[in-house]
Amino acid sequence: MAEQARGKVEVNQDECKGCGLCVESCPPKGLTLSPELNHYGVHPAQYHAEICTGCGICYFVCPEPGAITVYRLAVAKSEVSDAATV
């Protein structure tokens, strides 16, 4: 059974420089490089699957401020009862 996404990512493709660090770093492989070119002439990152965990790794590895934003989604209490607390 597919696990419900616990996070959501938005890539500002106008700020992305297409370095691919976020793509390589995402544990569940939820990011990829778009086949399209942006105004810098590079392939920007895009979120392609609803499998984000909200870990924030892509945000921390991205060298471009404002290129990537991570949201943590609210999860029903019954689903977080087994989750580790940070």
Binding site for ligand SF4 (CB under 6 A): 7, 9, 11, 16-22, 25-28, 30-31, 44-45, 52-58, 61-62, 64, 67-68, 70
Residue 13 makes CB contacts below 8 A (sequence gap 6+) with 34, 38, 44, 45, 46
Task: Confirm if 11 and 62 have CB atoms less than 8 A apart.
Answer: no
- Shorter beta-carbon distance to ligand SF4: residue 16 or 81: 16
Report, in Å, the least distance between residue 85 CB and ligand SF4: 19
24 φ/ψ angles, rounded to the nearest 5 degrees: -70, -30
Task: Kindly state the smallest distance separating residue 77's Cβ from ligand SF4, in Å.
Answer: 22
For residues 46 and 43, what is the distance between their CA atoms, to the nearest angstrom? 9
Nearer to ligand SF4, 10 or 80 (CB): 10
